[in-house]
């Protein structure tokens, strides 16, 4: 069994309390200590509210207590809104009372330097010792829309009566939380929960994400992340979201400082921190948004729309130019803008003689004067075009009518075709937008944003359809041997990989020219010879590699030459002899590697060998471990993947053997996580289909 890093049950009293104490409650509803009390009463929170203020008997109309110990009965949540120097004592009092969670608005902790870091560590120590869960400090709080519970001081939640939605948002930025509420209102959608984590002394973004992944009222999760300190915890939360088929849309700002690249490792040198984070999101099926606008558009589409079973999309518009714009964008995003069947095209021309009927379908301006035509065209496109998604550009049509018959038309189309993802692009009034979204129709104002959303929903459909193997399941499949804290020669590294089931080239270690000749005779084909030393990692750099050797004389001379140059180039190196192996070349050379990322632990890299990795840096990454399905996806991601499909008469390579090797390497790296720094397998030769794959060289560096 593998220990979980997230305790969702312990978060219930923090995010879903039945009673709330406000420490530092103010009689002034405009002050930070007064706002949460005013907001809770304004929004109609049904639980008990206990203001704590030693200077007043009543605060904003409610009885007040001098301290939390005096409150009668249990309290689930405490909001702490006192000066920073008083927070530690307030949290200790909450823990003594048996309060389950605390939200700390106060600042003056890790964000201000070393003194603040020490004070924040003391808060964490209280949380760990007593079990109280702490959100913050320096956070905006949490809003539970399902309970009308704005445990926050942000004025955005005073503007209107809160309505519960199905989008959960967790943000490390408090200001972004209030901003998000305004943006959601402008789009006619709402949240289930809005969680801000601030300095994350205890509760982190990953905790909030996992809570939302398990929450039945949340359909889609938006995550706004500035940095990640605990990679494994984030991975556990993302795995839970994937298992529960909850789409996660994330904005990740900047990039954390990458670990120092070991000189021996190609992988570490190629893996910038953001490249690894990007790979994590692909691996766990997270959509990474590049802007706040995209963040909300994709979240809205996931909240309202359905996941299309295939990539076929029909595009309908009264404007030919807008149709081309959408078609170009859809094609760039991998959607299938397949032409309408001829019979269906004829049916549309029978209704609109001058229509463009391929795809996009130009229904012309005639639909503006007769919405019944629009409905007929939509029926033909969906039914006979066999499109799983339909996007209609209506432009300013909705603004030109006194009422909303156009919205009625689309709602009727959606009702008649419940399995089709229908999206609308136009300048709809907010009330019409809300009606359309309630009917399962995402609404956009920019044409390419609609095709982008269809592509995103298709991304999630593929993600949830792909078999998923949990990292813990993969680790249980085999047992790791002991990785000694020593310098490994190539022979040592190949032997260790072979014992773990990894395919390695047949080879022999020799200690004299005579032994080299005998070894070459046994191989019965041209051979390669390399110096073997745990102290010489890059053998070719010193002339310690000889290729395509034939005949006894060439082999004997190569041995003497290799040993001589090795002694001259590295006089203090331990020389174990030479490796003799067959000269294998009938395949595609790739590079596999692992390195230890400071945030996520062992990471696996894959790319084509030669210039592709050295100059073009055509590589991709995954966090270890992963299964065969993820390995197949990894192989298909690099720009040079076509080289493995067979070019200019060459047979296709054994991609399945390559995927198996990648998965096995990932499990090996994870099992030796604490003692392994990096592995480079370069080249790894992928033979023609059905013949397997083999490691021709390996460099293994331990953590010590």
Q: Average pLDDT, stretch 137-150? A: 96
Residue 388: both structure tokens together: 């799983």
pLDDT at 550 over 70: yes
Determine the 3-state secondary structure of 410 from DSSP. helix
pLDDT at 73 over 60: yes
- 243-272 pLDDT per residue, tens: 999 999 999 886 444 433 333 444 445 455
Computed over every residue of the chain, the mean pLDDT equals 91
Q: What is the pLDDT of residue 478?
A: 53
Q: Which of 170, 171, 102, 95 is nearest to 134 (CA)?
A: 102
pTM for this prediction:
0.92
pLDDT at 39 over 50: yes
pLDDT at 177 over 50: yes
Fold classification of 306-465 (topology level): Rossmann fold (3.40.50)
Beta bridge partners of 593: 605, 680
Q: Is the dihedral of CA 313, 314, 319, 320 positive or negative?
A: positive
Q: How far is CA 430 from each of CA 401, 423, 447, 689, rounded to the nearest angstrom?
A: 14, 16, 18, 57
Q: What is the pLDDT of residue 475?
A: 65
Check residue 48 and report its DSSP letter: E
Would you report the helix, strand and coil content of the chain in percent, each value rounded to 5?
40, 20, 35
Q: What is the pLDDT of residue 159?
A: 75
Q: What is the pLDDT of residue 368?
A: 67
Higher pLDDT, 469 or 168: 168
Predicted confidence band of residue 137 (pLDDT cuts 50, 70, 90): very high
Q: What is the pLDDT of residue 320?
A: 78
Lowest mean pLDDT among 141-145, 446-450, 498-502, 648-652: 648-652
Q: Average pLDDT, stretch 33-41? A: 97
Fold classification of 506-582 (topology level): Dna Ligase; domain 1 (3.30.1490)
pLDDT at 615 over 80: no
Determine the 3-state secondary structure of 386 from DSSP. coil
Residue range(s) in the chain whose domain bears CATH number 3.30.1490.20: 506-582
Residue range(s) in the chain whose domain bears CATH number 3.30.470.20: 588-702
- 55-65 pLDDT per residue, tens: 999 999 999 99
Q: Average pLDDT, stretch 26-50? A: 96
Residue range(s) in the chain whose domain bears CATH number 3.40.50.261: 306-465
Q: Average pLDDT, stretch 228-236? A: 93
Q: What is the pLDDT of residue 468?
A: 85
Q: Average pLDDT, stretch 15-35? A: 97
Q: Average pLDDT, stretch 10-35? A: 97
Check residue 11 and report its DSSP letter: G
| Most confident among 263-267, 646-650, 656-660, 673-677 (mean pLDDT) | 656-660
Helix and strand element counts for the chain (H, E) = 23, 29
- 493-545 pLDDT per residue, tens: 999 999 988 999 999 999 999 999 999 999 989 999 999 999 998 898 899 99
Percent of the chain with pLDDT over 70: 94
E-strand spans in 211-309? Answer: 220-225, 248-252, 286-288
Q: Average pLDDT, stretch 93-121? A: 94
Higher pLDDT, 616 or 131: 131
Q: What is the pLDDT of residue 264?
A: 40
Q: What is the pLDDT of residue 402?
A: 57
Residue 156: both structure tokens together: 């955005």
Q: What are phi and psi of 506, to 5 degrees?
A: -65, 135
Order the strands of the 527-532 sheet from edge to edge: 508-510, 577-582, 527-532, 545-549
Fold classification of 588-702 (topology level): D-amino Acid Aminotransferase; Chain A, domain 1 (3.30.470)
Spell out a b/e string for 149-186, using b for 16 or more CB atoms within 10 Å of the CB, else e: bbbbbbebbeeeebeebbbbbbbbbbebbbbbbebbee
Residue range(s) in the chain whose domain bears CATH number 3.40.50.720: 9-246
| Most confident among 265-274, 283-292, 606-615 (mean pLDDT) | 283-292
9-246: CATH, from 2.40.30.20, 1.10.3720.10, 3.40.50.720, 3.30.70.360: 3.40.50.720
Spatial contact of 510 and 520, defined as CB atoms under 8 Å apart: no
Q: How far apart are CA 244 and CA 580, in angstroms?
A: 52
Neighbouring C-alpha atoms within 13 Å toward the C-beta of 321: 1
What's the length of the chain?
Answer: 704
Lowest mean pLDDT among 280-289, 363-372, 470-479: 470-479
Predicted confidence band of residue 101 (pLDDT cuts 50, 70, 90): very high
- 310-353 pLDDT per residue, tens: 999 999 998 778 999 999 999 999 999 999 999 999 999 999 88
Q: How far apart are CA 451 and CA 311, in angstroms?
A: 11
Q: Average pLDDT, stretch 106-132? A: 94
Q: How far apart are CA 367 and CA 697, in angstroms?
A: 67
Q: What is the pLDDT of residue 479?
A: 55
pLDDT at 684 over 60: yes
Determine the 3-state secondary structure of 619 from DSSP. strand
Q: Average pLDDT, stretch 453-477? A: 87
Q: How far apart are CA 72 and CA 66, in angstroms?
A: 12
Q: What is the pLDDT of residue 400?
A: 73
pLDDT at 14 over 80: yes
């Amino acid at each position: 069994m593998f220990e979980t890093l997230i305790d969702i049950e312990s978060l219930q009293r923090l995010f879903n309390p039945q009673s709330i104490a406000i420490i530092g409650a103010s009689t002034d509803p405009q002050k930070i200590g007064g706002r949460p009390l005013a907001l809770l009463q304004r929004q109609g929170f049904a639980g008990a509210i206990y203001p704590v203020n030693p200077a007043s008997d009543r605060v904003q109309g409610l009885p007040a207590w001098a301290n939390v110990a005096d409150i009668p009965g249990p309290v689930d949540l405490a909001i702490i809104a006192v000066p920073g120097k008083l927070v530690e004592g307030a949290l200790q009092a909450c823990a003594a009372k048996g309060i389950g969670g605390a939200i700390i608005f106060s600042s003056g902790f890790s964000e201000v330097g070393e003194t603040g870091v020490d004070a924040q560590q003391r808060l964490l120590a209280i949380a760990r010792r007593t079990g109280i869960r702490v959100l913050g400090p320096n956070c905006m709080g949490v809003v539970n829309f399902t309970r009308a519970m704005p445990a926050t001081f942000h004025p955005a939640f005073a503007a209107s009566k809160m309505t519960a939605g199905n989008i959960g948002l967790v943000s490390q930025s408090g200001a972004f939380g209030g901003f998000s509420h305004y943006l959601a209102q402008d789009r006619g959608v709402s949240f289930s929960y809005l969680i801000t984590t601030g300095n994350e002394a205890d509760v982190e973004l990953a905790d909030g994400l996992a809570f939302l992944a398990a929450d039945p009222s949340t359909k889609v999760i938006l995550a706004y992340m500035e940095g990640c300190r605990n990679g494994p915890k984030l991975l556990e939360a993302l795995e839970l979201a994937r298992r529960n088929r909850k789409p996660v849309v994330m904005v990740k700002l900047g990039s954390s400082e990458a670990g120092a690249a070991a000189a021996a490792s190609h992988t570490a040198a190629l893996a910038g921190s953001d490249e690894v984070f990007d790979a994590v999101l692909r691996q766990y099926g997270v959509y990474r948004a590049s802007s706040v606008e995209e963040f909300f558009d994709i979240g809205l589409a996931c909240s309202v729309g359905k996941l299309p079973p295939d990539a076929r999309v029909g595009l309908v518009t009264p404007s030919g130019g807008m149709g081309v714009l959408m078609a170009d964008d859809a094609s760039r995003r991998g959607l299938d803008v397949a032409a309408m069947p001829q019979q269906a095209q004829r049916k549309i021309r029978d209704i609109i003689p001058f229509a463009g009927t391929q795809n996009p379908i130009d229904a012309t301006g005639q639909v503006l004067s007769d919405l019944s035509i629009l409905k007929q065209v939509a029926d033909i496109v969906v039914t006979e075009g066999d499109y799983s998604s339909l996007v209609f550009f209506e432009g300013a049509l909705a603004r030109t009518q006194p009422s909303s018959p156009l919205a009625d038309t689309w709602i009727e189309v959606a009702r008649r075709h419940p399995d089709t993802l229908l999206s609308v692009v136009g300048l709809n009034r907010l009330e019409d937008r809300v009606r359309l979204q309630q009917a399962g129709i995402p609404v956009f104002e920019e044409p390419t944003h609609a095709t982008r959303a269809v592509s995103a929903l298709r991304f999630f459909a593929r993600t949830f359809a792909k078999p998923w193997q949990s990292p813990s399941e993969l680790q249980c499949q085999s047992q790791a041997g002991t990785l000694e804290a020593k310098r490994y020669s190539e022979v040592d590294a190949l032997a260790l990989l072979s014992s773990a089931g990894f395919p390695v080239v047949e080879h022999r270690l020799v200690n004299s020219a005579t032994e080299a000749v005998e070894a070459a005779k046994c191989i019965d084909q041209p051979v390669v010879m390399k110096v073997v030393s745990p102290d010489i990692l890059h053998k070719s750099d010193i002339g310690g590699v000889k290729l395509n050797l034939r005949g006894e004389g060439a082999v004997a001379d190569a041995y003497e030459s290799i040993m001589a140059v090795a002694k001259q180039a590295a006089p203090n190196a331990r020389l174990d002899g030479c490796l003799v192996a067959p000269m294998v070349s009938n395949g595609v050379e790739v590079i596999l590697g692992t390195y230890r990322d400071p945030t996520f632990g062992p990471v696996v890299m894959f790319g084509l060998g030669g210039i592709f990795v050295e100059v073009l840096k055509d590589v991709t990454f995954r966090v270890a471990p992963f299964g065969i399905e993820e390995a197949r996806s990894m192989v298909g991601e690099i720009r040079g993947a076509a080289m493995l499909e067979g070019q200019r008469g060459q047979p296709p390579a054994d991609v399945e053997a390559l995927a198996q090797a990648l998965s096995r390497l990932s499990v090996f790296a994870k099992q030796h996580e604490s003692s392994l720094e990096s592995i480079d397998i370069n080249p790894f030769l992928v033979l023609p289909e059905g013949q397997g794959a083999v490691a021709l060289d390996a460099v293994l560096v331990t953590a010590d």
